């Protein structure tokens, strides 16, 4: 390996790290607020990517029927809840929150499909992903919010299978790429060049990480999320509704997923089932952060992205094995550092 190749692999790895960082942030956020390892994260990102691809071809993105399906399910469940609680007076709010709001991005996407500006389509694709997070949470996760972490994980895994199945049904089996937001590359010296798209990905990830830090530390909503994450019972005592924070967490995570989708689709071919492997690799990064620390997750994302890039050069067939193999030493070290931490929390819950 000569320095040129090493440099190319490093930039590729950093671009990958940036994506894993964004996904990792979303995973940690959702896990710390709701104790769910949100496996369908990658699938939501994939839907944003495939929607953007469909819009570029001038077609209506298939995420619209998908959202429609979840809206119907959510409304149905809300009706059941209102019947159980005899709170039919809430129906205008329920209809607004679960019926109208999620359909707004769909309307935007339907309009954007016939616009020529790429930026409009990118924005529409990102926003299209946003309602999916809260809808999935309402339909599948809220009814079992008090189950064990393991049960929640299994439900999340099944959810991912369901979503990728729906993806195959509505988006079709063919993979696609979208056109790059930024064409061209920055030439450093002969043979050394970085694509603008790569730089953009890194910049967005870095910016998001900063925003995340500021929002969680300084704003009210950040403090609410933080409070729920560190002590759910205490948070409820001071008047924070867990269902509300869960919805907010899923909303933010789905927004992140949408951003990942439009960042990854110009550099990699996306299929309806590409989401799971993305989530799993970001999961390794999140594990390095102990599913709770954002800075450590960032470090983990860096490790995963760069080692994946170099591993694929040395042995392409084994690259996934190498990345997931990282988990073993990490888990050994982590459990050595913080013994039996997880089990105690389980016992409390």
Contacts with other proteins, residue ranges (CB under 8 A): 5, 8-9, 12, 57, 172-177, 195, 267-271, 273-274, 277, 309, 312-313, 316-317
State in angstroms the smallest separation of the CB of 312 from other proteins.
4
d(CA 46, CA 49): 5
And the tokens for 63?
Answer: 């995420």
Residue that the structure tokens 């929607």 belong to: 51
Q: Which is closer to other proteins, CB of 5 or CB of 211?
A: 5
DSSP 8-class letter at 88: G
Q: How far is CA 72 from the centre of its chain?
A: 23
State in angstroms the smallest separation of the CB of 281 from other proteins.
12
Q: Which is closer to other proteins, CB of 136 or CB of 194?
A: 194
Q: Which is closer to other proteins, CB of 8 or CB of 215?
A: 8
Can you name the residues that pair with 124 across neighbouring β-strands? Answer: none
State in angstroms the smallest separation of the CB of 49 from other proteins.
10
Q: Which is closer to other proteins, CB of 70 or CB of 271?
A: 271
Contact call for residues 29 and 251 (beta carbons, < 8 A): no
State in angstroms the smallest separation of the CB of 158 from other proteins.
21
And the tokens for 97?
Answer: 């929150």
Q: Which is closer to other proteins, CB of 31 or CB of 170?
A: 170
Contact call for residues 98 and 75 (beta carbons, < 8 A): yes
Under DSSP, is residue 133 helix (H, G, I), strand (E, B) or coil? helix
State in angstroms the smallest separation of the CB of 201 from other proteins.
13
Q: Name, in order, each residue with C-beta under 8 angstroms of 175's C-beta and a sequence gap of 6 or more.
A: 269, 270, 271, 274
d(CA 94, CA 72): 12
Contact call for residues 297 and 28 (beta carbons, < 8 A): yes
Q: Which is closer to other proteins, CB of 102 or CB of 167?
A: 167
Q: CA 271, 199, 24: angle at the middle one, nearest 5?
A: 55
State in angstroms the smallest separation of the CB of 181 from other proteins.
15
Q: Name, in order, each residue with C-beta under 8 angstroms of 283's C-beta and a sequence gap of 6 or more.
A: 24, 27, 37
State in angstroms the smallest separation of the CB of 317 from other proteins.
6
Q: Which is closer to other proteins, CB of 55 or CB of 246?
A: 55
């Amino acid at each position: 390996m000569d320095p040129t190749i090493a440099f190319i692999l490093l930039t590729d790895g950093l671009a990958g790290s940036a994506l894993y960082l964004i996904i990792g942030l979303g995973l940690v956020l959702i896990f710390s607020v709701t104790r769910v390892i949100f496996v369908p994260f990658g699938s939501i990102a994939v839907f944003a990517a495939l929607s953007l691809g469909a819009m570029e071809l001038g077609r209506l993105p298939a995420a619209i029927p998908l959202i429609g399906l979840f809206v119907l399910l959510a409304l149905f469940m809300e009706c059941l809840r209102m019947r159980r609680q005899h709170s039919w007076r809430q129906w205008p709010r329920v209809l607004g929150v679960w019926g109208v709001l999620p359909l707004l991005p769909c309307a935007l996407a339907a309009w954007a499909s016939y616009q020529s500006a790429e930026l409009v389509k990118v924005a529409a694709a990102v926003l299209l992903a946003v309602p999916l997070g809260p809808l999935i949470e309402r339909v599948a996760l809220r009814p079992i919010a008090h189950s064990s972490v393991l049960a929640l994980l299994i439900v999340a895994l099944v959810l991912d299978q369901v979503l990728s199945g729906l993806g195959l049904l509505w988006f079709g089996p063919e993979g696609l790429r979208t056109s790059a937001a930024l064409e061209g590359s920055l030439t450093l010296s002969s043979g050394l060049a970085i694509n603008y798209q790569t730089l953009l990905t890194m910049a967005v990830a870095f910016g998001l990480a900063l925003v995340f830090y500021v929002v969680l530390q300084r704003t009210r909503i950040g403090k609410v999320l933080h409070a729920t994450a560190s002590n759910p019972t205490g948070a409820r005592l001071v008047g924070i509704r867990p269902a509300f924070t869960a919805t907010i967490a899923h909303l933010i995570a789905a927004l992140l997923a949408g951003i990942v989708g439009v960042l990854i689709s110009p550099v990699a071919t996306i299929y309806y089932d590409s989401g799971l492997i993305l989530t799993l690799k970001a999961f390794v990064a999140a594990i390095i952060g102990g599913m709770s620390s954002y800075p450590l997750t960032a470090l983990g994302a860096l490790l995963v992205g760069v080692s994946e890039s170099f591993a694929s050069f040395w042995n392409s067939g084994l690259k996934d094995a190498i990345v997931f193999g990282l988990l073993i030493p990490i888990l050994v070290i982590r459990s050595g550092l913080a013994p039996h931490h997880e089990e105690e929390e389980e016992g409390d819950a």
